[in-house]
Amino acid sequence: METLKGKTAVVTGGNSGIGYATAKELKQQGATVIITGRRKEAVDAAAAELGVTGLVADQGNLAAIENLADTVSTTFGKVDILFINAGVLGGAAIEQATEAVFDQVMDISPAQNW
Ligand SMILES: NC(=O)c1ccc[n+]([C@@H]2O[C@H](COP(=O)([O-])OP(=O)(O)OC[C@H]3O[C@@H](n4cnc5c(N)ncnc54)[C@H](OP(=O)(O)O)[C@@H]3O)[C@@H](O)[C@H]2O)c1
């Protein structure tokens, strides 16, 4: 059943994993879906597989976030559903994390985005 028909959904980090699965479900529910990621080839491939719009945007870069928001606003007019999913795991316990890894994780952190 298409319960999300007429709704626009943005999934950051939608080219793999949890974001990809969520984008697939939102699309199946009838939403117009936009996915993002840093790697253009991966974004384009996932968007083609899912039948959604793919936009390249680094959520750790403020200018890229603003550009994404402008593009989505201009093209789609509104956002009904926003899944701030993009992120990376540090790969180490906090007491072993380097400052560079901590900064990378926090730069992409959902709290910094949108
Ligand atoms: N799986 C778990 O057990 C688990 C546990 C706790 C938290 N999480 C969090 O849940 C989220 C999804 O996890 P997942 O396992 O599905 O991860 P995943 O398969 O590695 O997918 C991460 C997605 O985020 C994108 N991404 C990473 N950095 C980005 C950036 N700077 N800007 C835009 N997109 C970016 C990646 O695309 P590009 O590489 O193309 O940018 C990819 O699409 C992440 O935030 C992760 O930290 C996952």
Task: List domains and CATH numbers for the chain.
Answer: 8-87 (3.40.50.720)
pLDDT at residue 98 above 60? yes
Three-class SS state of 2: coil
| Ligand 1 centroid to residue 30 C-alpha, Å | 24
Confidence label for 90 from pLDDT (cuts 50, 70 and 90)? confident
| Ligand 1 centroid to residue 37 C-alpha, Å | 9
14 and 85 Cβ atoms separated by less than 8 Å = yes
Which residues are near ligand 1 (CB < 6 Å)?
Answer: 12-19, 36-39, 42, 58-60, 85-89, 108
56 and 41 Cβ atoms separated by less than 8 Å = no
108 and 60 Cβ atoms separated by less than 8 Å = yes
Per residue in 3-47, pLDDT (tens digit) is 999 999 999 999 999 999 999 999 999 999 999 999 999 999 999
| Ligand 1 centroid to residue 5 C-alpha, Å | 27
